[in-house]
């Protein structure tokens, strides 16, 4: 009896032209197959299927012994270059004070040495940055907040580069609802309008804004699709609700 009354109420609202009935399916707002650019052996695996992760969280890492050593050597080279420049610069300052009483060629030699040592700092800095980048590339981090949906790797396994999918994830708790509604309302439904529905988990009524209206009619169902972003619904669920429009009747002209 309650369902019948609810249906009659919904029908009455539709006839008044204030709301458009729509069904929806829940899909991941974003999903990704994660890989690394470089090859190596997995030394750390910090997640499993079903784990919630936050953007920037380390998911796994390859062996980094050589890359960590390269960073240390590059850092030492930069420190040495900075020290060499310090001595060269001090020498240059001393020669500047006696520039007018020494051989020009000798002064130019000191000046050139200072310039060369300064260039060495720039080169060493670049080498250190490259070493750090190579070290960073051996760590896989979550590109956004979500849930791990599949795992294709274990500690000790070899990784062969971008063609080797290591983990799969989807964005969560944000998801998107794909709304399907009759084509006759194509001129009535617009971005920014409110879609009302109930969360199946707790029966809470929600109201969210339409973010997209797809410009294509499904040739089989004669339905149009719109999209809204919401939270805390599992992809794969479906349901229905109503789109609140300002002038539904105008679509039938």
Provide the domain limits for residue 79.
Answer: 65-136
Query: Do 192 and 178 reside in the same domain of the chain?
Result: yes
Element (H, E) at 134: helix 104-136
This prediction's pTM = 0.74
User: Which structure tokens are listed for 190?
Assistant: 């617009």
Query: Do 73 and 11 reside in the same domain of the chain?
Result: no
pLDDT at residue 247, rounded to an integer: 53
pLDDT along the chain (253 residues), means of 10: 48 61 96 96 98 97 97 98 96 88 88 94 97 97 97 96 94 95 95 90 86 95 96 90 73 42
Which of 119, 152, 167 delimits the end of a domain?
Answer: 167
Query: Do 182 and 244 reside in the same domain of the chain?
Result: yes
Query: Do 124 and 210 reside in the same domain of the chain?
Result: no
pLDDT at residue 95, rounded to an integer: 87
Query: Do 176 and 245 reside in the same domain of the chain?
Result: yes
Angle value at C-alpha 144, between 141 and 145, nearest 5 degrees: 105
Confirm if 143 and 166 have CB atoms less than 8 A apart.
Answer: no
Query: Do 246 and 188 reside in the same domain of the chain?
Result: yes
Confirm if 41 and 157 have CB atoms less than 8 A apart.
Answer: yes
Query: Do 40 and 92 reside in the same domain of the chain?
Result: no
Pairing state between β 158-160 and 39-45: antiparallel
pLDDT at residue 37, rounded to an integer: 95
Domain count, the chain: 3
């Amino acid at each position: 009896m309650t369902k019948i009354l609810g249906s009659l109420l919904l029908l009455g609202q539709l006839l008044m032209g204030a709301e458009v009935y729509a069904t929806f399916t829940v899909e991941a707002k974003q999903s990704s197959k994660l890989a690394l650019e470089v090859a190596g052996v997995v030394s750390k695996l910090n997640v499993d299927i079903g784990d919630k992760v936050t953007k920037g969280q380390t998911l796994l890492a390859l062996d980094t012994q050589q890359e960590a050593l390269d960073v240390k050597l590059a850092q030492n080279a930069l420190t040495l270059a900075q020290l060499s420049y310090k001595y060269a610069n001090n020498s240059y300052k001393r020669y500047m004070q006696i520039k007018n009483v020494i051989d020009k060629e000798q002064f130019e030699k000191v000046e050139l040495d200072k310039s060369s040592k300064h260039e060495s700092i720039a080169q060493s800095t670049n080498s250190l940055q490259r070493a750090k980048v190579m070290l960073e590339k051996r760590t896989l981090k979550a590109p956004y907040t979500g849930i791990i949906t599949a795992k294709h790797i274990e500690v000790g396994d070899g990784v062969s580069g971008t063609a080797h999918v290591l983990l799969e994830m989807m964005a969560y708790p944000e998801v998107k609802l794909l709304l399907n509604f009759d084509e006759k309302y194509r001129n009535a439904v617009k971005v920014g309008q409110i879609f009302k529905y109930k969360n199946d988990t707790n029966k809470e009524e929600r109201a969210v804004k339409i973010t997209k209206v797809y410009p294509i009619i499904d040739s089989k169902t004669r339905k149009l699709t719109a999209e809204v972003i919401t939270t805390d619904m599992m992809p794969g669920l479906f349901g229905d609700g109503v789109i609140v429009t300002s002038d539904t009747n105008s679509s039938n002209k």
